[in-house]
Amino acid sequence: MPFARLATCLAARLAWTVRLAAAASLFAMLILPCWGQESPAAPTAAAPTAPTPQNTPEARPLPVLNFAKPASHFPDPIGPYRPRDLPPPNLANTARIDQLMHEGKLYLSLSDAIALALENNLDIAIARYNLNIADTDVQRAKAGATILGVSLGIVQNTPGGGVGGVGAQVGSGTGGTTLGAGGAGAGAGGLVGSTAGGLYGPVINSFDPILTGTLQEDHFSQQATSIFQGVLPGSSLAQNTGTVDFSYQQAFHWGTNLTLGFNNTRGTTNSFFTSLSPALNSGFKATVTQPILQGFGFAPNTRFIRIARNNRELSDVAFRLQITTTVDQIENMYWDLVYAYENQRVKEESLTFSQKTLSDTKKQVEIGSLAPIESVRAESTVAADQQALTVAKTNLQLEQLLMKNALSRTLHDPMLAAAEVIPTSTMEVPANEQIQPTEDLVNDALRHRPELVESRIQLNSQEISNKALRSAVLPTLNVYGYYGGSGVGGAQNAANLCSNLDPELQGFGCPTTPTPSVGIGGTLNQLVNSTAPDKGVGLQLNIPLRNRAAQALQIRSELEYRQIQMALQQTENRVSIEVRQAQFAVEQNQASVASAKAAQDYAQQSLDAEQKKYQFGTSTTTAVLQTRSALATAESTLMSAMAAYEKSRVELERAVGTLLDDNGISIDDAARGQVTRLPNVPYVAPRKDLPSLTQPPPPPSQP
């Protein structure tokens, strides 16, 4: 007896536990939606947040949108189902341009040019959208959806300037938009990349809960032709059925799939074969499925989330590369502008000198001290200098136009379109520049170059995809368990009682006393009190014979992984060559500046000596003009050499990957499109021949 009592007690406790678990599963339909949204225990570096800008009239805070966070049901229940509208692009120039305008001229230092580019350059504005696009991929991946990939290309649609590299000439030509992708099926530079992005691998179901409901009211009527329809022939069989069904589905990061079903019907009929009318039928079933081989664990089921986060980091790195490329281009364009400005000054001085010489020569021809041919030679020199000045002026106008286009979003402003651009910074070549060891520069480049960072992140994403494909090679073995219950309720159908049936129909069977009524509460209680349970466990096995498709895809992914490793090494080799080439260019251009400076000094002294000889009558006008032309050529050569030196320094900083840091450029400011801290470019000096740009004091008020 004690053993029987113990067994009875354990059975009752087990039944109570099962009923409690069933009730908890129904309650879980309301609280489980948040469980499948975040990746478990996979800490990743949060995206850097931009600092709060100063609340000055020139720098008002801009809204920062985070598209990686979805709209919540709280406080707006229908918020996730509302489409989100984005404001149209702001095509107006920032106020910084107006602040730099003085008397219809745009006075521009190199730091001002970089700041304007960070705020207005359309290449940067286009690339800025990629950051938010990558955020949407993170949101899709958290929902269990496939990712769409991100663009890693550099936008170079701004004419002028250019960027350097192995075999490239700094400042040559215009760029075009290059395209690349960090998502599925990407391939560039000879790399295949067909298994990248995690598209291939075990199927991932939705981490977002899916709630399905059916509400239906059905009225059915049919003319009876047989007694077996439950009514007398010639009358109508009437049935009214109401249906309320709900189902809940959700997948989890460890591969588990949960399905809950809750079905309810209420039916009335005039058929005497039906004992209950209205009849209540309720049922629920909870099924949990867990993969054991293919698709087991976090690695294959969270691959989209991890790759999407890698792609978000790739977008940050690609945006840094975009800023580096644009700043490199702007600096090259600025030095082209400075050279064009100085070259026009040299040509103007040459023309002034040749015109004065022509005037003096004509006077001497008139008094007979010089032959008329000397006047013709002087006129030829003036014509040549005028032609050279015209070329210099048009080149300067072109450089000004290119600069205004690069630093603005639109040139529709007539004042800006007509404004001259006056560079206020000039080139400064240090007398004794310290040369950093080449190996130190190469090591810095291997740490800072965005291209190498991108390759390492892509290598990690490929490794994530490879783990998923290793899982996909395995057979499919799922273990599942389910528990459910059903309940029946309602009231006695009056047409089914013997007292209400004809004697000839009572032979079909009928109750003599009414069945006790069971309400909706009693019907639902039967679902969890084991009145009619439905429970079980099972295994589902799927073995693809030969499995050739999965084998081929898995080994293909490994081959592509090795290919990326080789490409990474090749990129490192190319970067080291670029650094050495850039360092060689700096040394060569520094020597060119020294040589051009010596040539200018010699040409100046030669002109001074030739002018003294001309004053004493021992030289000719032709010799003086030739010497002055040699001085103009030497001055232009010096300006060109100094511009090439400045460009080579910019190229060295780009090759090492420290261009932004060396110039004090904030990525956060570039991401916001609002510069709160002006860049500080080294080896640049302010021009001293410019007029004061201070605003005049206001006139005194009249009494």
pLDDT number for residue 3? 40
Cα 165 to Cα 124, 300, 582, 681: the distances in Å are 21, 40, 8, 21
Taking the C-alpha atoms of residue 703 and residue 701, their distance in angstroms, rounded to an integer, is: 6
Model confidence at 692, in pLDDT bands (50, 70, 90)? low
Q: Which residues touch 553 (CB under 8 Å, ≥6 apart)? A: 195, 200, 469, 472
Amino acid at 166: V
Mean pLDDT for 629-640 is: 93
DSSP 8-state class, residue 292: S
Res. 691 pLDDT band, cuts 50 70 90: low
Higher pLDDT: 169 or 109? It is 109
Report pLDDT for 382. 93
pLDDT tens, position by position, 43-63: 333 333 333 333 333 334 444
- Please state which of the ranges 8-22, 91-105, 231-245, 350-364 shows the lowest mean pLDDT: 8-22
Torsion angle of alpha carbons 136, 138, 143, 148, nearest 10°?
70
Least-confidence region, from 60-74, 278-292, 670-684:
60-74
pLDDT tens-digit series, residues 207-228: 999 999 999 999 999 998 888 8
592 pLDDT above the threshold of 90? yes
Residues 6+ apart with CB under 8 A from 170: 162, 163, 164, 332, 585, 644, 647, 648, 650, 651
Half-sphere exposure for 621 (CA within 13 Å, toward CB)? 27
- Looking at residue 505, its pLDDT comes to 67
Q: For 518, which DSSP code?
A: B
**Number of residues that make up the chain:** 703
- DSSP H/E element including 333: helix 303-367
**pLDDT higher than threshold 70 for residue 441:** yes
Q: Whole-angstrom Cα distance, residue 660 to residue 460? A: 26
Give the global pTM: 0.81
Q: What is the pLDDT of residue 226?
A: 81
CA 518/CA 513 separation, integer angstroms: 15
Phi and psi (nearest 5°) for 696?
-70, 150
Longest dimension (CA), the chain: 156
> Domain boundaries in the chain?
94-206+299-474+551-694, 210-251+256-294+477-541
- Strand pairing of 105-108 and 420-423? parallel
pLDDT of residue 2: 42
- pLDDT score for 696: 41
Confidence of residue 454 (pLDDT cuts 50, 70, 90): very high
Q: How high does pLDDT run on average in the chain?
A: 84
pLDDT band at 6 (very low <50, low <70, confident <90, very high): very low
Q: From the CB of residue 38, how many other CB atoms can be counted at a distance below 10 Å? A: 12
Residues pairing with 107 in the sheet: 422
Provide mean pLDDT across the span 625-629.
90
What does the pLDDT read at residue 507?
Answer: 65
Model confidence pLDDT, tens digit, residues 136-153 = 999 999 999 999 998 888
Residue 457, pLDDT > 70, answer yes
In this structure, are residues 625 and 413 in contact, taking their beta carbons and an 8 Å threshold?
no
For residue 7, pLDDT over 60 is answered with no
**Cα 224 from Cα 230, distance rounded (Å):** 8
- pLDDT (0 to 100) of residue 424: 95
* CA–CA distances in Å: residue 48 to residues 7, 138, 326: 62, 16, 21
Q: Is the pLDDT of residue 479 over 90?
A: yes
β strands within 252-395, DSSP E: 257-269, 276-291
CB 163 within 8 A of CB 654: yes
Q: Taking residues 155-184, report their average pLDDT.
A: 51
d(CA 575, CA 560): 22
What's the pLDDT at 162?
59
Range from 49-63, 90-104, 520-534, 571-585 carrying the lowest mean pLDDT = 49-63
**Which pLDDT belongs to residue 302?**
96
Q: Given this model, what pLDDT does residue 583 score?
A: 94
Residue with tokens 């940067």: 124
Q: How confident is the model at residue 163 (pLDDT cuts 50, 70, 90)?
A: low
pLDDT of residue 169: 37
Nearest one of 681, 680, 676, 682 to 119, comparing CA atoms: 676
d(CA 410, CA 499): 93
Residues 248-292 pLDDT 10s: 999 999 999 999 999 999 999 988 888 888 999 999 999 999 999
Question: Coil, helix or strand for 662?
Answer: helix
374: confidence class by pLDDT, cuts 50, 70, 90: confident
Per-residue confidence band for 170, with pLDDT thresholds at 50, 70 and 90: very low
- The answer regarding whether domain 94-206+299-474+551-694 maps to CATH 1.20.1600.10 reads yes
**Virtual torsion, Cα 323, 327, 177, 311, nearest 10 deg:** -10
Q: How far apart are CA 130 and CA 314, in angstroms?
A: 10
CA pseudo-torsion sign 302, 304, 307, 313: negative
Give the pLDDT score at 434: 76
Residues 6+ apart with CB under 8 A from 383: none
pLDDT at 630: 93
pLDDT-based confidence at residue 693 (cuts at 50, 70, 90)? low
